Structure 1
Amino acid sequence: MVAVAPVVGELRADTGLSSALAGLLTTLPVLSFGAFAPFAPRLARRIGLETAVALSLVLLAAGIGLRILSPVALLFAGSLIAGAAIALANVLLPAYVKREFRRPGPVMGLYSASLNVGAAAGAAATVPLAAALGVDWRTALGLWLVLALAALALWLPVAGTGRASRTSEPMPAGQGSWSLLRQPLARWVTAYLGLQSVQFYSLGAWLPTLLADAGVPVREGGLLLGLCNVVGAAAALLAPAQAGRMITQRPLVLAVGVAYLVGLGGLLVAPADGTLVWVVAFGLAQGGGFALALTLVVLRSPTPLVAARLGGVAQCVGYLLAAFGPLVLGALYDATGGWTWPLALLLGALVPMTAAGWGAGRRAVLRSGSVSGASPAGARSPAGSAGPAGPAGR
C-alpha cells in the first residue's frame, strides 16, 4: 500500500490523474481496511481460520497483479482488492496467535514489528528497485507480488486445516461482531485502537511536509521519517511482549501517551530545534501504541472467535476514523496557514485516547453479555488451545 506514495509523481504524469484522484488512490486502501474488517470473523466460521488467511493472500496477490495492468480503473480496483485482503489478514492473524500460543505477547510483538518494517521497506525500496532494474512505476508496484506469493507458499501447509471449526450455520442471535459493543470493555478497546490509528495515519501522512515547512531539508526529512519507522518497529516489538507479562496494561498506556505528548508538543513548540528528539518520541509512541492496541484485542478476548469479532469491529471503526484524519489535518492547515491548530487537535485527541486505553488496559476479559475480571488461570478456548484469558497469562 505505501509503495504508491513514492511513485505518485510518475504515476500522475503517466495517467493524467488529478491531485484529488491521486489522494483517493492512497486513501482507498485505508477505507478498505475499515470496510472489510468486519467480514473476517464470518469468513473464518464458514471456511476455517487457516483457509481464510490463505484466501486473503490470494486476494492480495490478485490485487497487486491488477495494478500492473494498463487501464487506470484497474489500478483503483487492484488497490481496493489488496486493501480488502489486508483487512481480512489484519483481523484473522491476531485471532490465530490467540489460539495457537499460550503467551501471545511476544508473537504479537513480532507481528506488529513486521508491519512497521514492511511499511518502511515498501516506502524506501520501491523507487531504488525501479531505478536499479530500469522499470517503470507499474512494474515497480508489481515487484511486491513476489512477497505475496512467498507468504502464500509458506502458509499453504496449514491452509486446509481447521476443518473442525467450520460451520455454515448463521451466527447465533446476539453473538454478531457489533453486539460486542454493548460491553464497555469492547468500546474502550475499539476507541483506543481507533484514536491511536488517527494519530498514526494523520501525522504520518503530513510529517515530511511539516518538517519542510519548519526549514528541515527535504532529504533530511525523509531520513527522519525512516528513523521514525525504525524506532516504531523496535517499540512495536517490545510493547506487546511486556504487555503480556503485566497484570494490567495501564502503565504502558500512560507511557504511550507521554511519548505522544513529547513528540507532538515538541513539533508544535520548536519543530526545527530538537527535531530528532521529537521524531524519535513520536516513533516510539506510534509503534508501541499501535502494537499495544492490537495486543489489547487479543488479551481482552477469552477465545480466538471473540478476538476475531472484536478485531473486526475495532479495526473497522479505527481505520475509517484514520482515513479521515489526514484530510482533517490538511483542511485545518489550509484554513489556518500553519501547523499550530492541526497539532493542537492531535494533542487534544490524546485525552480521550488515553482515557480509552485506561479502560481497555484493566484486568478483564469479554464475556457473553457481560464483562468479568480475568482469573489467573485464564480460560481455554473451544478449539482446545490454551489462550490466556487475561494479561497475566498462566
Structure 2
Amino acid sequence: MTAASARMPSPLLLGAGLMLVAFNLRPALTTVGPLLAAIREGTGLGTTGAAVLTMLPVLFLGIASVLGPRVSRWIGPDRGILLASAVVAAGLSLRAIGGLVPLFGGACVAALGIGLAGVLIPGLVKREFPGQAGLMTGLYTMTLCLGAAAGAGLTVPLQDLFGGSWALALAAWALPAALATLAWAPFARPSLAPATASSGGLRPAVWRSPLAWQVTGFMGLQSSLAYIMFGWVPLVLHDRGLSTVDAGFVAALMSVGQAPAALLVPTFAARLKDQRGAALAIVGLTLATYLLVVFGPLWLVVPATLGHGFGLGGCFGLGLTIIVLRVRDAAGAAALSAMAQGVGYTIASLGPLGFGLAHEIGGGWVLPSALFCALSLGAAGFSLGAGRDRHL
C-alpha cells in the first residue's frame, strides 16, 4: 500500500469531497448578478461601483492563483484545499452584515479562497487519480458549473425567503461552503511527499515563452467573457423586460449549459493534434449566442442562453485542456497553470469593469457589446497560437 492510499483510503469518498468543495467555488461569483439591481437600489451604488464590484473578485482570483504554489509548498495541497474552502465560507459570511464594505470585502475574501482552490485541486486530482485525471477534471469542471447555476437561480428566491434582504440571501451560501469544509476536513492531512523545486526551476523559461503568453492570453480573454456574463447578464435581461426572478432563472440556465460542454469539449479537443479549429468554433458560438441573448427576439432568449453557456463552458474547459497539452510533464503544467491563471485572471478582471463602464458611458448595451465582441476576437486570435501542436 502506498503512502497516498493509506492517507486516502477511499477514492469514492475523496472524489465526493472534492465535488462538494468544487460546487461551492462559484456561488460567490454568480449570486451578486441576479441581485445587482436590488443592491444598487438599496445602497445607492452607481454603475461604476457595480462595475468595480464585478471586477474585484476576478482580480483576487488572479492574486490567489499566484499564491497557490507557495501555499501548497507550505502546508500541502490537502490542507491548502481545506484552508481555501474555509476562506470561501468566511467571505460569504461577511455579507450577512449588510452594507457596501462587507459586500466588497466578502467578495474579495471569498475570491481568494476560490482562486487558491482552483490552483490546488487539479494537482491533487493528478496525484490521487492518475489514471482518471481527464474524467475527474471533467467532473470537477461540471460541478463548478452546477454550483454556478444554483447560485444564479436560487438567490432571488432566497431573498424573498429572507423578507427581501439581499445581504442574507448572499450570506446564505456560506452554509453549504461550511459543510463542504467539514466534509473535506478528514482528508486534510499533512502531505507525506517532500516539496520539490522542479516547477520553480521552470518558471523563468515559461515566462519567456511566446507560447506560454499565447496560452495565458487565451485563458485570460475567454475567462473575461464568462465573468462579464456572471456579473451583468441578469441586469441585461432585466432591462430587456424580464422580471428579477426570471432573469436569475435564465442566468442559471447559462450555467447549466456550461456543464455538458465542460465534459465534452475537453474530451474532444484532447483527441485532436491541433486545437485551433475547436477554439475558433467554440469562441464563435459564444459570440453569436451572446448577440442573440442581448439583441435577438425574446422568444430566443432561453435557447440562446443555453447555447451561450455551452460556449462559455467549452471555452473554459478548452483553456484548461490547452494548458495540459502544451507541456510535457507535471512540473511544466504547474508552472504554466500558475502563469495562465495568475496573469489570465488579472486580465479577465478588466472585462467586467470595462463592460460596466461602457454601459455607463453609452447608456445602453451597444457599447458594452462592442467590447464583448473585441474580447471574443482577441481570444480567437490568441487561440491560433495557443492551439498549435507545440510544447514548452
TM bucket, shorter chain: 0.7 to 0.9
Change (3 A) 1:191 1:359: same
Query: Which residue pairs with 1:93 in the alignment?
Result: 121
**Structure 1 291/20 Cα, relative in aligned 2: closer, same or farther at 3 Å?**
same
TM-score scaled by structure 2? Answer: 0.79
Contact map agreement 2:55 2:353 (CA 8 A) in 1: no
Partners of 2:51 and 2:357 within 8 A in 1: no
Q: CA deviation at 1:121?
A: 0.8
Q: 1:332 offset after TM fit, Å?
A: 3.1
Question: Is residue 314 of structure 1 aligned with residue 340 of structure 2?
Answer: yes
Distance 1:343 1:206 in 2: 12
* CA offset digits 1:152-173 (Å, max 9, x no partner): 2332333224232336x7985x
**Gaps (5+ residues) in structure 2?**
1-27
| Displacement after TM superposition at 1:72 (Å) | 5.5
CA distance in 1, matches of 2:279, 2:71: 32
Distance 1:26 1:347 in 2: 19
Match of 1:140 in 2: 169
Which of 185, 191, 197 in structure 2 is aligned with 1:162? Answer: 191
Q: Aligned in 2, Cα 1:110/1:78: closer, same or farther, shift over 3 Å?
A: same
Question: What value does the CA root-mean-square deviation take over the aligned residues?
Answer: 3.2
Q: Which amino acid aligns with 1:147?
A: P
Give the structure with higher Rg (CA): 1
Q: 1:324 matched to which residue of 2?
A: 350
- Tell me if the contact between 1:94 and 1:298 (Cα under 8 Å) persists in the aligned partners: no
Q: Which moved more, 1:205-214 or 1:9-18?
A: 9-18
In structure 2, the partner of 1:232 is 258
* 1:353 and 2:386 correspond: no
Q: Which has the higher helix share?
A: 2
Q: Which of 68, 72, 75 is 1:40 aligned to?
A: 68
- CA deviation vs aligned residue, 1:54-86 (integer Å, no higher than 9, x gap): 221222222233333468644433332211111
Matching residue's letter, 2:153: A
Partner of 1:193: 219
Q: Quick one: which amino acid aligns to residue 164 of structure 1? A: A
**Does the 8 A contact of 2:215 with 2:383 survive in 1?**
yes
Residue from 109, 116, 128 that aligns with 2:138: 109
Residues 268 and 340 in structure 1, CA contact (< 8 A), matched pair in contact too: no
Closer, same or farther: CA 18–214 of 1 in aligned 2, 3 Å: closer
User: How far apart, in 2, do the equivalents of 1:273 and 1:247 lie?
Assistant: 39
Match of 1:118 in 2: 147
Deviates more, 1:77-86 or 1:305-314: 305-314
How many residues align? The count is: 363
* 51 and 364 in structure 1: CA distance in 2 versus 1, 3 angstrom threshold: farther
Normalization by structure 1: what TM-score? 0.79
- 1:294-344 CA-to-partner distances (Å, cap 9, x unmatched) read 222233344444333322221222222222213323333444454344323
Q: 2: CA distance between counterparts of 1:267 and 1:3?
A: 20
- Which of residues 56, 63, 67 in structure 1 aligns to 2:91? 63
Cα distance, 1:219–1:246 mapped onto 2, change above 3 Å: same
Conserved? CA contact 2:217–2:382, under 8 Å: yes
Post-superposition shift, 1:114?
1.5
Shift in CA distance, 80/269, structure 1 to aligned 2, threshold 3 Å: closer
Return the match for 2:56 from 25, 28, 37.
28
| Counterpart position of 1:377 | none
Cα 1:165–1:69 shift into 2, 3 Å: farther
Q: CA deviation at 1:284?
A: 1.6
| In structure 2, C-alpha distance between the alignment counterparts of 1:37 and 1:211, rounded to whole Å | 32
| Distance apart, 1:24 and its partner CA | 3.4
Q: From the superposition, tell whether residues 132 and 102 of structure 1 become closer, same or farther in structure 2 (CA, over 3 Å).
A: same
Identify the residue that residue 324 of structure 2 maps to in structure 1: 298
Distance 1:70 1:284 in 2: 34
Find the partner of 2:312 among 286, 305, 317: 286
State the SS of the aligned residue for 2:193. helix
In 1, the alpha carbon distance for the partners of 2:209 and 2:307 equals 33
Give the Cα separation in 2 of the matches to 1:192 and 1:336.
Answer: 27
* Match of residue 249 from structure 1: 275
User: Mind listing any 5+ residue stretches in structure 1 that lack a counterpart?
Assistant: 366-370, 372-394
The corresponding residue for 2:112 is 84
SS in 1 for 2:131: coil
Is the contact made by 1:228 and 1:280 (CA closer than 8 Å) also made in structure 2? yes
Shift of 1:134: 5.6
The one-letter code sitting in structure 1 at the alignment partner of 2:186 is P
